[in-house]
Structure 1
């Protein structure tokens, strides 16, 4: 009886001991697990340093961004200034171009005016050969076909008419020659706009005779001057160019 009680007690003690050991083991694992979850002081320091470094980087980037913004604003101002300068230069160029156009037009007008003011012509009656022109029963316009000078092209060798290109005073001179004849003298009259002005006339029965005359006339633009053979007269010319008609502009008005 006592032996059984001792055995039961021994078994109980053993069970208790095992349970206690299990609790201790379990308790040890729990403490170990808790220790691994809670960070140590060194880990906390590393986190703090990393955050500080990150904050420094962020601040640096912010300052860099601000500097870039300032620089961009300065560049924008420079671009605006360059645009303004470019617009001013474009306006100046346009003004110079306009002045150049005006100057060019003025030069052309002056050149044209000078060219118009250069007027002179001289021509003889026959273009080639020799012979008489006339006599005719009525006054007949003479056409001086052999042109030696025609500056300004105011004289028309097809009609014998001089047309004034500008208003001014012109001087004209003409010579009329012919061999003497008992019935036919030689003579020609200068005509201005349909009106007889001056005549050159001579009559001799033998030999060669000539007459001449000249006049200065105020002509408007488009005014005309030419020579007419006087009725019942004749005029001679050959390669020596005896009978001539000349004129030139003295000055404009």
Structure 2
């Protein structure tokens, strides 16, 4: 469509040049429109309308290109991580105070948003994320984990002490709407514990949709 318009404009300009010997400025075209032969006035009006339509089409094309670039940018943003507590021994804890669990064994970390040194996930983009926490612990002590967004407690999982139960398991999951640079991490309650050894206690998440 755009090529057709440009071809017509070229032919029209050639016609004007052949008749007038040049291409008058826009002010002269406007003046000439008011006092010209009927057929030439019609051509000038059509040229003006075509030029306006071409401008609208160029604007729409630019908007479409920007939207495509934005969609491609969103498609390129992939955030997926899965980790496990790795302490080299069976028990992690208990401690006298709440601590942030550092999941050292990184199974997957697409996007590098999870930091194994701190145990903190930093949201690289605004969007909706999905997180899961699971743990296994001995039944002779309480197991209790908290999932935090920045400084706010979001969900938790726990089990009480039992003398007859050899092991306890717990878990939870949540969708969170995060802004860029929001932090998500897991804290273990004071006087509680979990099992480590690379496999039992995990923290995972992924970007569901960018916003």
TM-score by length of 2: 0.63
Residues in 1 aligned to 2:177 and 2:71: alpha-carbon distance in whole angstroms:
23
Q: Which runs of 5+ in 2 are unaligned?
A: 1-66
| Structure with the higher strand share, 1 or 2 | 2
Structure showing greater relative contact order (alpha-carbon pairs closer than 8 Å, 6 or more residues apart): 2
The question of 1:201 aligning with 2:158 is answered: yes
Tell me, yes or no, if structure 1 residue 250 matches structure 2 residue 208.
yes
- Aligned residue for 1:173, secondary structure, equals strand
| Cα distance per residue 1:204-227 (max 9 Å; x no partner) | 333111100011000000000000
Q: Tell me the alpha carbon deviations over residues 192-247 of structure 1, each in whole angstroms, 9 at most, x when there is no partner.
A: 011111111012333111100011000000000000001110111224x0100000
Deviation at 1:110, TM superposition (A): 6.4
Tell me which residue corresponds to 2:85.
125
Distance 1:136 1:129, change over 3 A: closer
**Once the two structures are superposed, what CA deviation does each residue of 1:129-171 show, in whole Å capped at 9, x if it has no partner?**
3321111121100000101100111101111000111111001
* 1:161–1:131 CA distance, 2 compared to 1 (3 A): same
Coordinate RMSD, CA, aligned: 2.1
- Higher percent of residues as helix: 1
| Structure 1 residue 109 displacement after superposition | 7.4
Q: 2: distance between equivalents of 1:159 and 1:222? A: 15
Which residue of structure 2 lines up, in the alignment, with residue 50 of structure 1? none
| TM-score, length of structure 1 as denominator length | 0.53
Matches within 5 A, 1:122-201: 122-126=82-86, 129-181=88-140, 184-201=141-158
2-side partners of 1:177 and 1:212: how far apart? 9
Runs of 4+ in 1 over 3 A off after TM superposition: 106-113
Size of the aligned set, in residue pairs, is 144
SS at match of 1:114: helix
Larger Rg computed on CA atoms: 1
Aligned to 2:62: none
Counterparts of 1:231 and 1:173, CA distance in 2 = 21
- The CA distance in 2 between the partners of 1:109 and 1:168, in whole Å, is 14
